[in-house]
Amino acid sequence: TRTQVAVVGGGPAGLLLSHLLARAGVASVVVELRSRREIEETHRAGILEQDSVDLLVDTGVSDRVLRDGYRHEGIELAFGGGSHRVDFTGLVGAATQLYPQTDVFVDLADARERDGGDVRFGVTDVAVEGLGTDAPRVRFTDAAGEEHELVADFVVGADGSRSLCRAQVPQAARRQYFREYPFAWFGILTEAPPSAPELIYNHSPRGFALISSRTESLQRMYFQCDPGEDVADWSDDRIWEELTSRVGANGYTLRQGPITSRSVLPFRSFVQEPMHHGRLVLVGDAAHTVPPTGAKGLNLALADVRVLAEELERAVAKGDPAPLETYSERALGRVWRTQHFSYWMTTMLHTLPDATPFDVRRQEGELALLASSVAGSTYLAEAYTGWPGAR
Any idea which residues carry the catalytic annotation?
Answer: 72, 201, 292, 296, 384
**Residue 352 DSSP one-character state:** P
Q: Which of 212, 250, 346, 377 binds ligand DHB (CB under 6 A)?
A: 212
Binding part of the chain for ligand DHB, among 53-61, 103-111, 230-238, 292-300 by CB under 6 A, reads 292-300
Residues 85-144 that bind ligand DHB (CB under 6 A): none
Residue placing its CB nearer to ligand DHB in the complex, 3 or 102 = 102
Residue placing its CB nearer to ligand DHB in the complex, 168 or 363 = 363
Taking phi over 0 as left and psi of -120 to 50 as alpha, with beta for the rest, 75 belongs to beta
Nearest to 197 by CA among 184, 216, 178: 216
Cβ atoms of 1 and 151 closer than 8 Å: yes
Residues 187-206 that bind ligand DHB (CB under 6 A): 199
What is the closest distance, in whole angstroms, from the C-beta atom of residue 13 to ligand DHB in the complex?
Answer: 17
d(CA 201, CA 203): 7
Binding part of the chain for ligand DHB, among 22-30, 39-47, 122-130, 318-326 by CB under 6 A, reads 39-47
Residue placing its CB nearer to ligand DHB in the complex, 210 or 367 = 210
Strand 280-282 with 154-157, pairing: parallel
d(CA 28, CA 51): 24
What is the closest distance, in whole angstroms, from the C-beta atom of residue 173 to ligand DHB in the complex?
Answer: 32
Mind spelling out the 3-state secondary structure of 182-220? CCEEEEEEECCCCCCCCCEEECCCCCCEEEEECCCCCEE
What is the closest distance, in whole angstroms, from the C-beta atom of residue 111 to ligand DHB in the complex?
Answer: 23
Strand 74-79 with 200-202, pairing: parallel
d(CA 16, CA 55): 10
Residue placing its CB nearer to ligand DHB in the complex, 47 or 243 = 47
Contact call for residue 69 and ligand DHB (CB under 6 A)? no
Residue placing its CB nearer to ligand DHB in the complex, 289 or 293 = 293
Residue placing its CB nearer to ligand DHB in the complex, 274 or 294 = 294
d(CA 223, CA 247): 10
What is the closest distance, in whole angstroms, from the C-beta atom of residue 113 to ligand DHB in the complex?
Answer: 26
Residues 295-354 that bind ligand DHB (CB under 6 A): 295
Contact call for residue 292 and ligand DHB (CB under 6 A)? yes
Q: In b/e form, how buried is each residue of 346-381, taking b as 16+ CB within 10 angstroms? A: bebbbbeeeeeeeeeeebeebbeebbeeeebbbbbb
What is the closest distance, in whole angstroms, from the C-beta atom of residue 295 to ligand DHB in the complex?
Answer: 4
Q: Which of 7, 17, 39, 45 binds ligand DHB (CB under 6 A)?
A: 45
Cβ atoms of 296 and 387 closer than 8 Å: no
Distances (CA, A) of 322 to 147, 277, 328, 364, 373: 32, 10, 10, 48, 45
DSSP string, 34-71: S-HHHHHTS----EEEHHHHHHHHHTTS-SHHHHHSEE
Q: Which of 5, 39, 47, 315 binds ligand DHB (CB under 6 A)?
A: 47
Query: Where are the alpha helices (H) located in the chain, listed in sequence order?
Result: 12-23, 36-40, 50-58, 64-68, 88-92, 101-114, 236-248, 297-318, 322-349, 357-372, 374-385
Residue placing its CB nearer to ligand DHB in the complex, 84 or 276 = 84
Binding part of the chain for ligand DHB, among 17-25, 116-124, 131-139, 287-295 by CB under 6 A, reads 287-295
Contact call for residue 220 and ligand DHB (CB under 6 A)? yes
Q: Which of 294, 321, 323, 386 binds ligand DHB (CB under 6 A)?
A: 294
What is the closest distance, in whole angstroms, from the C-beta atom of residue 56 to ligand DHB in the complex?
Answer: 17
Residues that bind ligand DHB (CB under 6 A): 45-47, 199, 210, 212, 220, 292-295
